[in-house]
A = this chain, B = another copy of it.
Amino acid sequence: MSEYTGYKGRSLEFLKSNNVSVGDSVKITADLTFLGIIMPRYEHSDDKHVVLKLNNGYNIGLELDKITKIEKISSSEKTVESQPKIEENPSLPKILLLSTGGTIASKVDYRTGAVTPILSAEELNSSVPELSKLANIDTEVLFSEYSENIMPDHWLQIANKLVEFSKSNYSGIIIAHGTDTMHYTSSFLSFALAGFPIPIVLVGSQRSSDRASSDAALNLIGATRFLVECKSNGVYVVMHHDESDETISCHLGTRVRKNHTSKRSAFETIGNSPAFVITGDKIQKNVEGNYFKINEFTPKVSLDTKVALVKYYPGYNAELLDKIIDMDYRAIIFEGTGLGHIGKVLYESVKKAHEKGVFLGMTSQCIDGRVGMTVYESGRDLLNLGIVPLENMIPEVALVKAMWVLGNSNDKEEIKNLMLENIASEIS
């Protein structure tokens, strides 16, 4: 990103002539006085405004014609502050924090456009001092990706890294992860590492750590407390419970979904309360039984991405499904309507897929609730066509599970059995 990204014409001229560039802290006098950071703009923006990120985190566009004065307070160049060295406390448990990127692991990423991992042990402890009272935290930066760019290959990388620590003396492992696809990653880890002997927690934040409303610190503290105090094996997603700063939810990693674009409490357990809810000193447990239905840990870290998630809707063209079949996909997970239906227009294509040996699984775009394919004639037709109803598995989880199953089996019967076996609480 250049120092004038997105600025052009008059606005570019304005910045240059005032010796100000993207990322600089400035004071602008217009009808009011504004303090903030010059933000980059996008290509199609006009040339009549500059955009400022205010200290409260909001962006505003200021019209050039109304600006009477602009003063640079500080430039965007980084100042390296020396961090105090944290002493290990031998009476506290050890935790590993793996960073994969995302908002939680980035410092003012919107300021320079770059994702800068900040989670060295020192920086972490210095920015969230409460952590050092709970555990001795080692950190490692695995990679730095926004979660929309995390691919199945990254899942494999994370899982293989975790396997290395399955016999370590860590009490638990925290994975800092972008929130967009955190629930896809938690699902894969749940299947690939079924039976993993120590708890794994994915944690993210919806607002970056330099915003007043950031949830990064509380989520990290919550994740650490969960590991130290609950000692519950499994793969969990730990995030804000509601809009307060007091309560943390620990969701089963195969029963959770990001259900809001921006709220700090965006993550929800589907069809149930979160497995654990932490408010102050109180931990409420809402779940019974083990997360993993398999006790022995024998990692199966492989997958095959030849799985398509097909969301049915009125007007869905059977030709689209035919293309998927022609591309030799090995499994299709339908997001059907209601109890698990798709229109008759797709029956011929479904038949063709079944004859070709494609695994066909049914989930519901309702997201919550169980598919029930014996209630209506349509459902019974689809059963006859070879579609397998996947209970109440969340569509995204069924997709990830199918990738994992196909990576571990070529046998049609085994594939079906694995899809229906409850491995990591994905069926409830």
Task: Give the interface of A toward B (CB within 8 A).
Answer: 1, 6, 40, 42-44, 59, 109-110, 113, 146-152, 154-155, 179-181, 184-185, 258-263, 266, 305, 307-309, 311-315, 317, 319-320, 323-324, 327, 335-345, 364-372, 374-378, 380, 383-384, 392, 396, 399, 403
27 contacts between A and B (CB under 8 A): A42-B383, A43-B384, A110-B376, A146-B378, A148-B336, A148-B378, A150-B314, A151-B315, A151-B343, A180-B341, A181-B337, A185-B314, A258-B338, A258-B365, A259-B368, A261-B338, A261-B339, A261-B340, A261-B370, A262-B339, A262-B370, A262-B372, A263-B369, A305-B315, A305-B317, A319-B327, A320-B323
Complex: A338 Cα to B149 Cα, angstroms: 12
Residues on the B chain within 8 Å of A323, using CB: 320, 323, 327
Residues on the B chain within 8 Å of A372, using CB: 261-262
Given A314-B152, A341-B146 in contact, is the A380-B260 Cβ separation under 8 Å?
no
Residues on the B chain within 8 Å of A154, using CB: 314
> How far, in Å, is A340 (CB) from chain B's closest CB?
7
Residues on the B chain within 8 Å of A155, using CB: 314
Question: Told that A40-B380, A148-B312 touch, could you supply 19 new A-B pairs with CB distance under 8 A?
Answer: A42-B374, A59-B374, A146-B341, A146-B378, A148-B343, A152-B314, A154-B314, A181-B314, A184-B313, A184-B314, A262-B369, A262-B372, A266-B369, A305-B317, A309-B311, A313-B396, A313-B399, A317-B327, A323-B323
Are A364 and B44 in touch, CB under 8 angstroms?
no
Residues on the B chain within 8 Å of A344, using CB: 149
Are A261 and B368 in touch, CB under 8 angstroms?
yes
Closest residue on chain B to residue A40 by CB atoms: B380
Closest residue on chain B to residue A345 by CB atoms: B151
Are A376 and B109 in touch, CB under 8 angstroms?
yes
Interface centre among A259, A260, A315, A392 (most CB of B within 10 A): A315
Given A369-B266, A370-B262 in contact, is the A149-B343 Cβ separation under 8 Å?
yes
Are A337 and B262 in touch, CB under 8 angstroms?
no
Complex: A323 Cα to B365 Cα, angstroms: 23
Given A40-B380, A260-B369, A338-B179 in contact, is the A315-B148 Cβ separation under 8 Å?
no
Residues on the B chain within 8 Å of A366, using CB: 258-261, 266
Residues on the B chain within 8 Å of A148, using CB: 312, 336-338, 341-343, 378
> How far, in Å, is A344 (CB) from chain B's closest CB?
5
> How far, in Å, is A419 (CB) from chain B's closest CB?
16
